[in-house]
Copies of this chain bind each other. A is one copy, B any other.
C-alpha cells in the first residue's frame, strides 16, 4: 500500500472515529464475515435451507437432492462443520447433519427471506 488520502477536505475526526469503530469490532467482522462467506455460496445456502426444513439430512440424500457428487457435498458439509454451523450425528454408517443453534440467529432471517420471496411470486 502506497497511497493514502491526500485531499485537504478529508475529515480527520471522522476518519479516526471510523478506524476506532473497526478496531473495536474487529472480532465481529472476522466471525460474521466467516459465516456470511459460508452462507454466500449457493450450494451451501441450499444445504442450510434444506437442513432447516428437514431437520437433518445425510450426505447421500443431499447429493441426490442437489444433483451433485457425494465428495462435492461432503466438502461443503466439512466447511459448514468447521464453521460450527452444522453438527453431525452418526447412525450406523449413515451420518446425519443438522443445524447448530449457535448461529441460527443469523441464518433464520435468510430462510425467512427465501420463503417469503417464493410465496410472493406465487401470489403475483
- Residues of A in contact with B (beta carbons under 8 Å apart): 1-7, 9-11, 14-15, 18-19, 21-22, 24-25, 27-42, 45-46, 49-50, 53-54, 57, 60-61, 63-70, 94, 105-106, 109-110, 113-115, 117-118, 121
Contact = CB atoms under 8 A, between A and B. Distances in A.
Question: DSSP class of A's interface residues: helix, strand, loop or mixed?
Answer: helix
Contacts of A63: 3-5
A106 B109 contact: yes
Contacts of A50: 18, 21-22
Contact of A2 (B27, B46, B69, B113): B69
Given A27-B117, A110-B32, A114-B32, A5 B42 contact: no
Given A10-B61, A106-B109, A40 B42 contact: no
Contacts of A21: 49-50, 53
Nearest to A105: B113
A53 to B, nearest CB: 6
Given A53-B21, A113-B106, A69 B33 contact: no
B42 A39 contact: no
